[in-house]
Chain A
Amino acid sequence: MLRSRLFLLAPLLIFLALAYLIPFLGVMRWSVTLPEPGLGQYKTALTDPLVLSVIWRTVRICALVTVLAVAMAYMITLLWVRGGPVMRLFVELCILIPFWISVLTRAFGWLALLSNRGIINTWGQDLGLLAEPLTLVRNEFGVVLGMVHFLIPFAVFPLASAMRAVDERVLLAARGMGASRARVFWQVFVPMTKTGIFGALLLVFVFALGFFVTPALLGGGRSVLVAELIWLRIFQSPDWGLGAAISVIMMVAIGLLLMLTMKYAKGPGR
């Protein structure tokens, strides 16, 4: 019995231990040994104005992106779950097609739309609406749009399962008691999907924090987020110790965030 247990569970666990857990310890070692032994890099990461400004920008942009993505996902999920059959099919395609398309293609789509010679600026100038091209990308605006676009489908799934669980009769009862449609929505439906909203917010925020490709492409080096900063410190202006220290801090922060929410989800909130 013992042998079979090892035989089934062990391969994946050993593989992840060798390829992930032990290397992560190596990254931790980098963070306290490069360039010199000590906690200097952690001190730099938490006091250096440049690093702090990147962390602050990351939290700010991720919070904005999270709220926007979940709000927009809520709108489209509402139709997906509660619309008529044709509508439902159409919405499903609108969610699934972007979901399966790679992050690079989607970021490129935004470049095609927003860059100086992209669709909006070309048409705007041709039609005489714009005197000169608007700077829509390679800045925070582009980063936010691209990230929201990427994250909406991920917010849809927890929202959809919460909305499907809503008991239709409760809504009808509220209607029957004379509540307006708007009131049924805001005071009955939305509170009943609270766990889904919360789950979607958390999922999207955690995803957004570790985001690298979209901000790097659409931010054009001007609005660097934490993930891109790590990349820069490893490959562009090498300071491996600092890159490793920021990675460890990020891992701990996300771990704490997840633990807190698990505690909350198990607690009296449910």
Chain B
Amino acid sequence: MITLKPGLLATILAALVAVFLLMPLIAVVPVSFTPGRNLSMAGDEWSLRHYRALIENPAWGQGVWLSIRIGLVASLFSTALATAFALGIWMLQPRFAGIYMGIAMLPMVAPPVVSALTLYFFLTSLSQWNGVIGYDTFFGVALAHSVMVAPFAVVLITVALSQVDRRIDLAARSMGAGLMTRVFRIIMPNIRFGLIAALFLSFVLSWEEIGVTLFITSVNAVTLPRLMWMGLRDNIDPAIAAISVVLIAIVVAVVLIKTVMQLRQGQQR
């Protein structure tokens, strides 16, 4: 029980930080309704033209669809690899677990720009061999995203596994369950929330990945963030404001729904 509550000064300072955190997100709204062609404020006249542009210009729909497909492939692939890896570490406790874990964490701790250059090297080398997996291709981007998000999936699944009681696995083994039965019938059901969290986080991370994507795409594999980048870099296209409002609204809705669900669950208990 917390008896010493933060005082007035602490509350005011925290409120200022909260304003700082929310301010740029709110600022996007009036810009998205501007009738002008450049970044400006909607004054007396409000216009929906930039929202209409999102629908009418096929590039936006294509970017969204590409990002969803890449996100699905990358999250499924990386979560599958990460699950096998985390299970291997948990079940077998190999002698060099620390080293294996270090390798698995590398893309997460390395500076994103170094990873980006490394993956650029990887994909341009692949491009010399084939046209399907390589620089500026769907599978190339999906592979690169898998590399970047796999460590996060490993972390989430490892955390989920650390809460599983080893004795249920030992019990299954002593009753003659094989490796496959132990993994799929005993352990996986116990870490299902961790698996869902890993899939979700890796999808979101791939969906909004831009640092690496900038290095490995040019004109063919234009994901949604890549498309936004092109509209932000030089002349700012107010359509970016419209898509930003949509993206912010989705996040706010999801976070609010999750919070309400948690509150309800808390009340039921």
Binding site for B on A (CB under 8 A): 1, 4-5, 7-9, 11-13, 15-17, 19-24, 26-27, 30, 72-73, 75-76, 78-79, 82-84, 87, 89-98, 100-113, 115, 117-119, 122-123, 149, 152-153, 168, 171-172, 175, 181, 184, 206, 209-213, 216-217, 226-227, 230-231, 234-235, 243-244, 247, 250-251, 254, 258
| Contact A11 to B84, CB < 8 A, known contacts A105-B248, A175-B4, A247-B114 | yes
B24 touches A106 (CB 8 A): yes
Binding site for A on B (CB under 8 A): 1-7, 10-11, 13-14, 16-18, 20-25, 27-28, 30-31, 38-41, 81-82, 84-85, 87-89, 91-92, 94, 100, 103-104, 106-107, 109-122, 125, 143-144, 146-147, 150, 154, 179, 204, 207-208, 210-211, 214-215, 225, 228-229, 232-233, 236, 240-241, 244, 247-248, 251-252, 254-256, 259, 263
A12-B154, A247-B118 given; name 7 further pairs at CB < 8 Å. A9-B85, A9-B92, A23-B121, A79-B14, A97-B25, A98-B21, A250-B113
A residues near B82, Cβ cutoff 8 Å: 12
B residues near A21, Cβ cutoff 8 Å: 103, 106
| Contact A122 to B41, CB < 8 A, known contacts A89-B259, A101-B25 | yes
A102 touches B89 (CB 8 A): no
A244 touches B117 (CB 8 A): yes
A231 touches B215 (CB 8 A): yes
| Complex: A246 Cα to B154 Cα, angstroms | 29
| Complex: A83 Cα to B23 Cα, angstroms | 22
| Complex: A133 Cα to B211 Cα, angstroms | 31
A117 touches B119 (CB 8 A): no
Q: List 21 A-B contacts (CB under 8 A).
A: A16-B150, A20-B115, A20-B119, A20-B147, A87-B11, A94-B17, A97-B22, A97-B25, A103-B210, A104-B210, A105-B244, A110-B27, A111-B39, A113-B24, A172-B4, A211-B112, A230-B113, A231-B113, A247-B113, A247-B117, A254-B110
